[in-house]
Every structure is written in structure tokens, then in C-alpha cells.
Structure 1
Amino acid sequence: MIVTYDNEIDAIYFKLTENKIDSTEPETDRIIIDYDKDNNIVGIEVLDFYYLVKKGLTVNDLTFPEQHKTTASQYFNIPVAV
């Protein structure tokens, strides 16, 4: 898994596979999921990431495959600047 964070727009992207993105679907107004042609998750983008973590968002609120939940959960312990 590759994780990138864009500080300017407060968005984090969890890239789970190297598969080509075939479609993108909003899960909520702040969570966007990319899928491959076989409907497998390629990546998950979380907009307003620090705000959502501060409000209590956890890795369990996102659609991560089980093998990525432990790795992803470390990003939910990032100190939030108020």
C-alpha cells in the first residue's frame, strides 16, 4: 500500500494496488473509492482528512480490505493541528 497526503487540500490517498482505475465512486461526500475493471478497490481518497480524524473517523469507517487495515490504521493516529 502506498499512502500520499496533500497538505494543501487536506486529502489522503491510500493506493492499495497497481491495477488501472476503471471507475471512481463517491462513498460519501468526503470519501471516494477507485475500482478496477473487476470491481476490486484500487484506492481510497479521504477529503478533509484531519478534520474527519478529529471528529472520530477511524480505519473501520472505510472500505479497506482486511490485509490493509493494520497499515492504514497508523494514519489515523496523526496528531491533528487545531
Structure 2
Amino acid sequence: MAKRTFESALGKLEQITEELEHGDLTLEKSLKKFDEGIALVDYCNTTLTEAKAKVEVLLEKQGVLSQTPFEELDHGDKELS
């Protein structure tokens, strides 16, 4: 079994969402897909939480965590007018 990545889990979650929205599945298959989707959401949330913790560690300065909201960081992007 290949190692799951955030991107692959998100892609699969999008596919499941489309299948459920289309409405052609039986109730049993819909419930199975829904359950699979919940597991993927849990995986994605855990992955994002871990990534946030890593970013906070990288932002640590002189032993004191300096949290800066992501929106306030300089991303090098220029605002579009």
C-alpha cells in the first residue's frame, strides 16, 4: 500500500464528494463513501495540525514562540488591484 499524502487524501475526498452529490449511489454505498470521507477528513485535519505545529516551531525565536497569524506573514505576494 502506498503512503497516503495530504494531497492524495484531499483529492480522494473531492472525488467522494462529487460521487455523493451526483446521487447515483445506493444508500449502502453512500454510507460507505461517507464513512470513508470522514476518515479522510480526520487524516487531513491531523496532517494540517501537525504542519501548523512544525511552522510554529520554525517561527520560534530565542526560545520564545512568536506566533504570527499566517495572513500577516510576508508571502512576497502583491495585492491585486
- TM-score, length of structure 2 as denominator length: 0.30
- TM-score, length of structure 1 as denominator length: 0.30
**Bigger strand share:** 1
